[in-house]
Amino acid sequence: MNKKNFILGILFSLILCNFCVEIDAQEKKKYPDPAPMTAAMTEIWTPQPKIVTPGEPVSAPSDAIVLFDGKDLSAWENDKGEPAPWKVENGVFIAGQGNIRTKQKFENFQLHVEWRIPEDVTGQGQGRGNSGVYLQGRYELQILDSYENETYINGMAASIYKQTPPLVNAMRKPGEWNVYDVIYSAPVFKDDGTYRTPPRVTLLHNGVVVQNNTTILGTTEYIGHPRVAKHGAGPILLQDHPGHVAFRNIWIREL
Ligand code: MG
C-alpha cells in the first residue's frame, strides 16, 4: 500500500466510525410513548345546544313496517338470536337484560321511534336514562335524559354518539314521550373496505331537525375513534343500560 492510499484508508475509517457512533446514539435515544386513549379525549362539552319546545308525534303511515305496535316483541331478538327479553306492559316495552335488535335487516330507511325516560329517573350525565338507537346495528343515535342534565354534547340525546352533537336540544321532561324520526342513507363501500359514500342521517327530535343530512364517520365507539368496516344490511338495535327507558310506536319505511 502506498502512502496516499494508507492516509485515505485512515480517513475513511474515522468517518465510518463517527457514523456508527451517531447511529448508535440515535438507537439509544428514548422518545416518550403516546398517551393512552381515554374516554374524555373524544368528549366535546361546549357550546351546549339551545333549548326549544317541541310539538306532537304522528302515527304509522299505511306502507310502514310496524316493529312494535304495543302488543309484543315478535319483530325483535337478543344478540344471540333468541326472543327479545325486554318487558312489555301497558302498550310499551322497557329496556333490560341486554341489547335487542330487529330480526329484519335494512339498508336505506325512514324510522320512527318513541321513547320515554322514567319520571323518577336518577343519576346524572351519561348515567341518566341512557339507551340508544343503532342504525344498521353500528351507528348509535344517543338516547339520554338531556332535560336539565348536561353532559358532553356529542353524547347528549340526539347526538351521533361521540361524533356530532344535535343542532338544538328538543328534549321533553322525564315521564313525557320523545320522538325520533330518522332518515338514513346506508354507506357504499370501495373494494378496500373504506367508504365510497359514507352513511348519512337526518334526525328530527320531537319534530325538530337536530341532525341535517349529517355524515356518519364510522362506528360510534365509547373509547377511541370511529372505525370503518365493510358491511351490508343491518338491524335496528336498541341499547340496554340500567336506565329503564320505555319504547312504543316503532315503525320503519324502506327507501
Ligand atoms: Mg347510549
Domain ranges of the chain: 1-31, 39-254
Task: Report the amino acid identity of residue 80.
Answer: K
Task: Report the amino acid identity of residue 101.
Answer: R
pLDDT at position 134 is 98
Task: Give the Å distance between the CA of 14 and the centre of ligand 1.
Answer: 65
Q: Which fold has domain 39-254?
A: Jelly Rolls (2.60.120)
Task: Give the Å distance between the CA of 224 and the centre of ligand 1.
Answer: 16
Task: Give the Å distance between the CA of 238 and the centre of ligand 1.
Answer: 9
pLDDT band at residue 16 under the 50/70/90 scheme: very low
Task: Give the Å distance between the CA of 142 and the centre of ligand 1.
Answer: 5
Task: Give the Å distance between the CA of 234 and the centre of ligand 1.
Answer: 18
pLDDT at position 2 is 56
Task: Give the Å distance between the CA of 129 and the centre of ligand 1.
Answer: 9
Whether 180 contacts 204, CB under 8 Å: yes
pLDDT at position 215 is 98
pLDDT band at residue 38 under the 50/70/90 scheme: very high
pLDDT at position 209 is 97
In angstroms, rounded to a whole number, what is the distance separating the alpha carbons of residues 117 and 128?
9
Task: Give the Å distance between the CA of 194 and the centre of ligand 1.
Answer: 25
Task: Give the Å distance between the CA of 11 and the centre of ligand 1.
Answer: 69
- Give the residue carrying C-alpha cell 334526525: 203
173 phi-psi bin (left φ>0, alpha ψ -120 to 50, beta other):
beta
Task: Give the Å distance between the CA of 55 and the centre of ligand 1.
Answer: 24
Task: Give the Å distance between the CA of 243 and the centre of ligand 1.
Answer: 10
Q: What percent of the chain has pLDDT over 70?
A: 88
Burial label for 228, CB within 10 Å (0-12, 13-18, 19+), is middle
Task: Give the Å distance between the CA of 133 and the centre of ligand 1.
Answer: 8
Q: What's the Cα-to-Cα distance from 47 to each of 119, 153, 208, 209, rounded to whole Å? A: 27, 8, 19, 18
Mean pLDDT (the chain, rounded): 90
Cell of 60: 304509522
Task: Report the amino acid identity of residue 95.
Answer: A
Whether 25 contacts 213, CB under 8 Å: no
Whether 167 contacts 147, CB under 8 Å: no
Task: Give the Å distance between the CA of 167 and the centre of ligand 1.
Answer: 18
